[in-house]
């Protein structure tokens, strides 16, 4: 009895000790890291492209976590092995504050390999976190040889460049002896594809595989198709459209000629429950037809769908394909790399409904979606048997309410649906896209009165998340921010395009160069840009020349300010992400570009062409008013210096001291040339025209000697004043306007220009009805109507480049150190605004800056994510006091390292949430 009692007591003590030790252990554990990604921000990707990936994670927002002191990553081939038995890689505990872009140090990964991983971290006190949730990634087919017995398949196509391509349909039946454990479809096309298994559309992607320099590289896509398959008879079907590969692209009425014909290539790899692997590859056993319902589909011209050609069940088992033809097979080209797509494909992102329907011409009904958008229509309409429904598009309306389509130039941008039966149809095109706000419908069943619900707009763009927000007290400014975002959505359709509607839609490098910084604030487009930069590297000529459009389908001469996308974009990405990989990947391209500049400098006559300060208003260049007044030679030298300086900076970061030294010296010598050639002793330009852009480049690119800075700024301000306080800048000058004026103490002037409502200005276009960024400030005006239709896009993101400054100075968020490892919060309030709020999802987590300003106080709310620090600058006069959550902050308060400088309070802070108030 006694013993029993003692034993029970002992057991109780043991339990208490165990429980308290256990909970004490738990209590010390920090929350897990989260948002685990690989590469340029991919969450659990399949078909991933990189066999030596980077790992990133975010630390939990908690009072206990300021910094990461150490981390440990474990990776395994099966999730059940984690975290205890990582068979692929165990980083062990690494003392490092790196929580982003941590390189894989396991063995090089192979095609198809699936990796599960977890991470934990230790904070600044050495406390450990619990393990993160398990993340994973799976590689695609990394090399051509992985496609093994798969072949390109197609049906013969006409050699005549004027003949339209008729979309081809392919199918293959196959038997699976058991249920499927796991299955992947690896697929691509020379052209565009849509795949089906057992009648079900595979994935929700569009315009795949995308647009790359097809002679060098074609992207491949991986789909998890496990749940599409069943034991017994199965069918795979694929439709092939001409797309960018074979269609007409770039000022031509003919389709483009690429070595090699269109076709599809795929491998369906299945793992069955009985342990067997079954592979269905595109090969000579497939059958094809071009007698399917999509009769034509082109990027510029739209789609023709004839329901009379529908082949019910063509992509399901049991279909009689006797009258289908055997396919032709073509081998996989050795020199064209098949590589997993390294950014997300295009997808439907949102749906716009029509707000009004009108009938400007009898039988032609115009649906207004209320927003200029890019994508396709969806029709739910009644039709009569044999009817031809015509669907036309426009960004704007003529005065009489009919569609304004002149600005599409030769792009037909019209869809047709030919009906087989009477009744309601639900249809959307497959291999085209349009830039439009208005849809005109005719040819439907006229017994019915059109309803708004008949037409909706499916907005499509490359799949990325929004990662910034900016909102202010001013409705015009908010509209501008919205227009910038719509410009981004509309022109990030697989590649960055100049415009999405006319017979152009190409990857113009200059437009991309000026807009990239703004895009990176608004959306997580790192992988999008990294992928396009790969295309740029592939398109660079041996002598370093870069075509003005990427991918390029002909030889265009390189152009100054356009080619420099090669230096500017990687550099900008690095500022946003802190990932040196983007610098490494593109460094050689930059050096080659500089060599090209150097060689060009030595030539009698430059081969570097120039579009000048494209579309500067009030140009005096009568021969071509699109080229602004800024001296082309000056732009040439200014951008040369800019690119050399960026490359020198990058050389330093990459530890290439010799290059750095050489480039820096060279850069200094070029700056002297610039100063001697283009600035007189009064800081005045020596060129024929004294332009805003020339002064902006001189100041913005650091080309002015210190002794002349003040006078150059005065001269710049003079040019703006003489323009009646208006901008007079084109594509190259406009992005510099706000940051340069602001940097040199002219912030008030920036606000004046920004809030200007008369031509030319941002708000001017808004007052004329802009719901996107326009190619010209006056692409349309209520007074004068439409601008010259030969170049009149209503969706051109270039002038949206002001967005970067809006985030940095109206919102107040910028990076003091690359990747926001050190953040600068420095909003510049203005009397025109009573509040502004910006958020930015950095690689370390959410940054927020929100301010309110009234007569009595200035309030600033700030969020700084873990593993970063921040400098906060708050405008405040000497006598004004600063309060943080009720406490007076002053020099005595050491934690925030308070100081004052010239009307500004400067604080150094740790991660956390702050609410500051300056009492007036």
* Residues at the interface with ligand BGC (CB under 6 A): 498-499, 504, 508, 510-511, 611, 614
Residue 775 appears among annotated catalytic residues? yes
Instruction: CB nearer to ligand BGC: give 155 or 499.
Output: 499
Question: Looking at beta carbons only, is 194 or 504 nearer to ligand BGC?
Answer: 504
Cis peptide before 88 (omega within 30 of 0): no
> Which parts of 443-547 are beta strand (E)?
455-462, 468-472, 492-493, 495-496
- 891 catalytic? Reply is no
- Give me the least distance between CB of 409 and ligand BGC, in Å please: 10
Within 8 A by CB and 6+ apart from 668, the residues are none
Nearest to 121 by CA among 24, 35, 23, 20: 35
Q: Which is nearer to ligand BGC, 474 or 498 (CB)?
A: 498
In the complex, the smallest distance separating the C-beta of residue 732 from ligand BGC, rounded to whole angstroms, is: 10
Q: Which is nearer to ligand BGC, 560 or 753 (CB)?
A: 560
Catalytic residue among 194, 261, 269, 504, which?
A: 504
Q: How far is the CB of 511 from ligand BGC (least distance, A)?
A: 5
Cβ nearer to ligand BGC, comparing 223 with 532: 532
* CA-closest candidate to residue 443, choices 358, 397, 394, 386: 386
Q: Closest CB to ligand BGC among 407 and 849?
A: 407
The 3-class SS string of 819-838 reads HHCEEEECCCCCCCCCEEEE
Q: How far is the CB of 877 from ligand BGC (least distance, A)?
A: 45
Residue 909's nearest CA partner among 892, 897, 893, 891 is 897
CB 667 within 8 A of CB 641: yes
Alpha-carbon distance of 757 to 747, in angstroms, equals 18
Residue 824 beta carbon to ligand BGC: minimum distance, rounded to whole angstroms: 32
Tokens of 609: 């062409």
Q: What is the DSSP letter of 809?
A: I
Token pair 């480039």: residue: 663
Provide the minimum distance between the beta carbon of 508 and ligand BGC in the complex, in angstroms, as a whole number. Answer: 4
Q: Are strands 232-241 and 192-197 parallel, antiparallel or unpaired?
A: antiparallel
Of the candidates 330, 314, 347, 331, which has an alpha carbon nearest to the alpha carbon of residue 239?
314
Comparison of 563 and 862: residue with beta carbon closer to ligand BGC? 563
User: Coil, strand or helix: which one is 667?
Assistant: helix
Distance from C-alpha of 105 to C-alpha of 615, rounded to nearest angstrom: 50
Those residues whose C-beta lies under 8 Å from the C-beta of residue 854, and which sit 6 or more positions away, are 834
DSSP helix/strand/coil, 678: helix
- Rounded to whole angstroms, the Cα distance separating 639 from 395 reads 34
Cα–Cα dist 198/111, whole Å? 27
- Between 46 and 499, whose beta carbon lies closer to ligand BGC? 499
Distance of closest approach, residue 652 Cβ to ligand BGC, in angstroms: 31
Of 715, 763, 713, 707, which Cα lies nearest the Cα of 742?
713
CA neighbours within 13 Å on the CB side: how many for 523?
Answer: 23
**Residue (609 or 687) nearer to ligand BGC, CB:** 609
Q: CA 638 to CA 694: how far, in whole Å?
A: 9
- Cβ distance to ligand BGC smaller for residue 438 or 508: 508
Where are the alpha helices (H) located in 358-442, listed in sequence order?
none
Nearer to ligand BGC, 504 or 645 (CB): 504
**From 645, 775, 841, 884, active-site residue:** 775
Q: Please, what is the minimum distance in Å from the beta carbon of residue 773 to ligand BGC?
A: 11
| Cβ atoms 120, 128 nearer than 8 A | yes
Residue written as token pair 């150094």: 908
Q: Do residues 40 and 527 make contact, with C-beta atoms less than 8 angstroms apart?
A: yes
Q: Which two tokens stand for residue 144?
A: 């051509």
Rounded to the nearest 10°, the torsion over CA 530, 534, 539, 542 is 120
- Between residues 511 and 539, which has the closer beta carbon with respect to ligand BGC? 511
Beta bridge partners of 471: 837
In angstroms, give the least distance from the CB of 567 to ligand BGC.
17
Between CA 533 and CA 20 the distance in angstroms is: 56
Work out how close the CB of 249 gets to ligand BGC at its nearest, in angstroms, rounded to a whole number.
Answer: 13
- 467 close to 841: Cβ distance less than 8 angstroms: yes
Distance (Å, whole) CA 104 – CA 82: 17
Q: Which helix (H) or strand (E) holds 90?
A: strand 89-90
> Nearest approach, Cβ of 791 to ligand BGC (angstroms)?
6
Burial of 635 (0-12, 13-18, 19+ CB in 10 A): buried
* Shortest distance in whole angstroms from residue 550 CB to ligand BGC: 12
Report, as residue numbers or ranges, the catalytic residues: 504, 775
């Amino acid at each position: 009895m006694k013993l029993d009692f003692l034993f029970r007591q002992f057991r109780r003590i043991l339990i208490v000790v165990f429980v308290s030790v256990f909970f004490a252990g738990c209590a010390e554990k920090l929350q897990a890291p989260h948002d685990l990604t690989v590469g340029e921000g991919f969450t659990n990707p399949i078909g991933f492209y990189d066999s030596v990936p980077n790992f990133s994670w975010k630390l939990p927002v908690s009072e206990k976590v300021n910094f990461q002191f150490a981390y440990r990553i474990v990776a395994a081939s099966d999730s059940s092995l984690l975290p205890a038995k990582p068979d692929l890689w165990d980083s062990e505990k690494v003392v490092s504050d790196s929580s982003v872009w941590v390189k894989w140090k396991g063995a090089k990964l192979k095609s198809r390999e699936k990796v599960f991983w977890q991470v934990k971290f230790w904070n600044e006190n050495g406390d450990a976190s619990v393990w993160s949730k398990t993340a994973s990634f799976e590689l695609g087919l990394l090399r051509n040889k992985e496609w093994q017995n798969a072949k390109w398949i197609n049906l013969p196509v006409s050699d005549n460049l004027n003949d339209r391509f008729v979309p081809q349909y392919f199918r293959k039946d196959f038997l699976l002896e058991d249920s499927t454990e796991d299955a992947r479809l690896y697929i691509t096309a020379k052209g565009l594809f849509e795949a089906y298994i057992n009648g079900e559309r595979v994935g929700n992607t569009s315009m795949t595989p995308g647009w790359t320099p097809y002679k060098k590289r074609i992207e491949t896509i991986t789909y998890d198709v496990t749940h599409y398959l069943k034991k017994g008879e199965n069918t795979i079907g694929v439709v092939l459209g001409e797309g960018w590969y074979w269609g007409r692209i770039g000022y031509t009425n003919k389709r483009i000629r690429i070595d090699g014909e269109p076709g599809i290539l795929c491998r369906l790899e299945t793992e069955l429950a009985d342990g067997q692997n079954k592979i269905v590859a595109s090969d000579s056993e497939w059958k094809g037809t071009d007698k399917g319902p999509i009769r034509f589909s082109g990027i510029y011209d739209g789609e023709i769908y004839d329901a009379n050609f529908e082949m019910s069940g063509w992509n399901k088992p049991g279909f009689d394909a006797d009258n289908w033809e055997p396919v032709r097979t073509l081998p996989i080209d050795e020199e064209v790399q098949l590589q997993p797509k390294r950014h997300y494909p295009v997808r439907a992102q949102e749906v716009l409904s029509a707000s009004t329907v009108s009938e400007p011409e009898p039988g032609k009904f115009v649906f207004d979606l209320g927003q200029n958008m890019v994508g396709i229509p969806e029709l739910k309409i009644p039709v009569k048997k044999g009817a031809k429904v015509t669907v036309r598009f426009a960004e704007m309306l003529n005065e009489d309410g009919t569609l304004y389509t002149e600005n599409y130039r030769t792009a037909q941008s019209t869809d047709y649906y030919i009906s087989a039966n009477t009744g309601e149809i639900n249809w959307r095109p497959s291999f085209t896209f349009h830039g439009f706000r208005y849809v005109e419908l005719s040819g439907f069943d006229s017994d019915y009165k059109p309803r708004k619900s008949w037409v909706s707009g499916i907005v499509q763009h490359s799949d990325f998340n929004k990662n910034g927000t900016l909102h202010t007290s001013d409705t015009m400014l908010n509209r501008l921010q919205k227009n910038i975002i719509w410009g981004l959505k509309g022109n990030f359709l697989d590649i960055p395009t100049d415009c999405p509607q006319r017979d152009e839609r190409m990857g113009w490098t200059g437009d991309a160069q000026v807009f990239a910084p703004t895009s990176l604030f608004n959306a997580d487009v790192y992988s999008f840009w990294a992928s396009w930069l790969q295309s740029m590297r592939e398109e660079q000529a041996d002598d370093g020349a870069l075509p003005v459009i990427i991918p390029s389908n002909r030889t265009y001469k390189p152009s100054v300010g356009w080619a420099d996308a090669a230096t500017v974009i990687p550099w900008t990405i690095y500022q946003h992400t802190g990932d040196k990989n983007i610098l490494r990947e593109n460094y050689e391209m930059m050096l080659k570009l500089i060599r090209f500049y150097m060689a060009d400098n030595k030539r009698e006559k430059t081969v570097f062409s120039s579009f000048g300060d494209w579309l500067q208003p009030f140009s005096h260049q009568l021969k071509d008013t699109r080229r602004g007044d800024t001296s082309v030679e000056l732009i040439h030298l200014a951008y040369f210096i800019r690119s050399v300086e960026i490359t020198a900076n990058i050389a330093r970061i990459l530890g290439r001291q010799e290059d750095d030294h050489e480039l820096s010296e060279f850069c200094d010598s070029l700056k002297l040339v610039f100063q001697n050639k283009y600035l007189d002793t009064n800081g005045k330009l020596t060129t024929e025209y004294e332009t805003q852009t020339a002064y902006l480049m001189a100041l913005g690119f650091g080309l002015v000697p210190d002794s002349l800075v003040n006078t150059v700024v005065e001269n710049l301000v003079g040019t703006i004043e003489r323009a009646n306080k208006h901008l007079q800048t084109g594509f190259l000058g406009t992005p510099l306007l706000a940051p340069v004026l602001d940097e040199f103490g002219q912030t008030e002037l920036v606000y004046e220009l920004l809030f200007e409502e008369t031509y030319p200005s941002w708000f001017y276009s808004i007052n004329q009805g802009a719901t996107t960024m326009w190619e010209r400030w006056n692409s349309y005006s209520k007074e004068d109507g439409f601008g010259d239709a030969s170049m009149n896009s209503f969706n051109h993101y270039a002038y949206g480049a002001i967005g970067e400054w809006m985030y940095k100075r109206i919102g107040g968020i910028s990076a003091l150190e690359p990747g926001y490892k050190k953040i600068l919060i420095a909003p510049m309030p203005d009397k025109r605004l009573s509040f502004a709020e910006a958020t930015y999802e950095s690689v370390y987590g959410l940054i927020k800056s929100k301010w309110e300003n009234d007569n009595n106080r200035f309030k600033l709310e700030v969020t700084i994510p873990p593993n970063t620090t921040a400098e906060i600058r708050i405008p405040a006069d000497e006598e004004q006091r600063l309060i943080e959550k009720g406490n007076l902050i002053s020099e005595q308060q050491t934690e925030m390292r308070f100081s004052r400088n010239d009307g500004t309070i400067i604080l150094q802070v740790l991660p956390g949430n702050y609410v500051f108030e300056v009492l007036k």
